[in-house]
Amino acid sequence: METCVAVVPGSFDPVTNGHVDIIERACKLFRVVHVAVAVNAAKEPTFTRDERVEMLRLACAHLPEVTIGTFDGLLADYAVAIRAGTIIRGLRAVSDFEYELQMAHTNRCLAPDIETVFVPTRTDYSFLSSSIVKEIARLGGSVEGLVPDGVRQRLREKFEQR
């Protein structure tokens, strides 16, 4: 494992400014940051895997240390495959911590050499989730300031089609 390589996993459906904040902060701590879009066959995402990857590429274009990828299966296996020494998880509230701690312990059992680092969100993003963003967009509200510019347009297009 490489201690200077981290993975930031998530569904990113869609990527929010809160996600970008966590990714930017991870870049201050690690030489290489892999942003990994989780593909979960049990979930029906709003955006396709390729759309999510493209939105992340646009949102992270200013971060040369970031690479974007996808994984289907166990995060621990993906982290081992890309030689990441650290998994980065953002925390918005205490309610996130319980779930994330459980996942960190599970990943530690599956891949003992990989550490999990929790990064608290900025206060102004502590309420923000992809689900909330999609609900606002679906109901015709403004998501300005909540998502990167290119994502705002994608949300508008997606919900105008329905």
**Residue of 52, 130, 152, 154 marked active site:** 130
Q: What is the DSSP string of 104-133?
A: HHHHHHH-TT-EEEEEEPPGGGTT--HHHH
**Residue of 49, 92, 122, 158 marked active site:** 92
3-class DSSP state for residue 31? coil
Active site residue 130: yes
3-class DSSP state for residue 22? helix
* Cβ contact 148:55 at 8 Å: yes
**Closest Cα to residue 14, out of 158, 161, 160, 162?**
158
- Using DSSP bridges, classify how beta strands 115-120 and 84-91 pair: parallel, antiparallel or unpaired: parallel
Cα(86)–Cα(157) distance, integer angstroms: 36
**Residue of 43, 95, 142, 162 marked active site:** 43
Beta-carbon count within 10 A of 162 CB: 6
Active site residue 62: no
Active site residue 162: no
Active site residue 92: yes
Taking the alpha carbons at both ends of the chain, their separation in whole angstroms is 45
Catalytic residues: 19, 43, 92, 130
